[in-house]
Amino acid sequence: MIKKEDLYKIGIGTWKIDYENFENDIDALIHSYNKGENYLSLYMLYNNGEVVKQMKKFIDKIDREKIFINVNLEPTIEKIEDVEIQLNEYLKTLDIKYVDNLQIHGSFISKIPLIDVYKEIKRLVDIGKVRYIGISNVNLEQLKEINNTVKIDFFEGVYNLECKLYEDIGVLDYCKENDIKFICYQPLRRNRTAKRNYPLLVELAEKYKKTQNQIILNWIINKKNIMPLIKSTNIVRIDENIEATNFKMSNDDYDKLDKFRNIEFDNVEIDWECNGGVTIDQLANQFE
């Protein structure tokens, strides 16, 4: 079984996996695995569970003990029994005995108190159906409340060059101080950041003879100590992403990336209560 400290620097995302033509993607997934990527994030919400069903074919072709499987609880949890019911659906669909990490996808998924949800997840850890406990898309106060009751191992949230809210509100520092591994989705904003050709990224890409996306990933991994989740079924792109881990930039250049701000994203007000405004999981999608 893979320990938290043994995870590769880049995780495998599965949003937009082509479940209808999965045979075209499975070789790329195996390539990622053979290159060392050993964290797999799954979500039943993607295409009504069809992606998870197809991912069983991938898991069957590799060593289950050498892949770390993270799964998300779905909207809506109406009663405490729903937590284990949803977990059992993942276990049955993937034909596995345990998941490595179980997390909520945001506070909005539950109609019962999150504390109760997490006490139930802890019970599932105690009986061996879950190994680690994660949480996603919550604010600092919610994270502290849960972590003070049930030890959190993983935090998944949006983070990239343009969207630094979780750093601004103290979540990154809290995770470092409390041995919580921060995992970010949309680290490249699905290539939209590079398409903007910010002068800083253009300059650094030319200086280090890398792509703009490699510059971003290198900064996220080496300077911020964050694991990015990336969905890619293009073998050339997978290798480019992995190459982003294999070089160093100067401290001055890392500092320039730290200080970079985008006023468009900084001015977005997040609706943490999910009352019809912009929720944190949609922050990176607000602008092209």
How large is the average pLDDT for residues 180-205? 98
263 burial type by CB count under 10 A (0-12 exposed, 13-18 middle, 19+ buried): exposed
pLDDT digits (tens, 9 = 90+) for 24-73: 899 999 999 999 999 999 998 777 789 999 999 999 999 999 999 999 99
Per-residue pLDDT tens digits for 108-151: 888 999 999 999 999 999 999 999 999 999 999 999 999 999 99
Of 276, 287, 272, the C-alpha closest to 108 is 272
Q: CA-to-CA distance for 98 and 141, rounded, in angstroms?
A: 30
**What is the full DSSP assignment across 126-194?**
HTTSEEEEEEES--HHHHHHHHTTS---EEEEE-SSS--HHHHTTHHHHHHHTT-EEEEE-TTGGGHHH
- Cα 87 from chain centre: 18
- Per-residue pLDDT tens digits for 11-23: 999 988 888 888 8
Q: Name the residue among 63, 64, 51 with its Cα closest to residue 25.
A: 51
pLDDT of 16 reads 80
Task: Return the sign of the alpha-carbon dihedral for residues 80, 45, 137, 167.
Answer: positive
Question: Which 3 state secondary structure label does DSSP give 230?
Answer: strand
Return all residues near 80 (Cβ < 8 A) that are at least 6 apart: 112, 116, 117, 120
Element (H, E) at 202: helix 199-208
Q: What pLDDT does 77 receive?
A: 93
Q: Which residues contact 166 (CB under 8 A, 6 or more apart)?
A: 157, 158, 159, 172, 182
Does the pLDDT value for residue 273 go beyond 90?
no
The b/e string for 26-57 (b: 16+ C-beta within 10 A; e otherwise) is bebbebbbeeebbbbbbbbbbbebebbebbee
Tell me the domains of the chain and their CATH numbers: 4-191+226-234 (3.20.20.100)
Q: What is the reported pTM?
A: 0.96
Q: What is the mean pLDDT of the chain?
A: 95
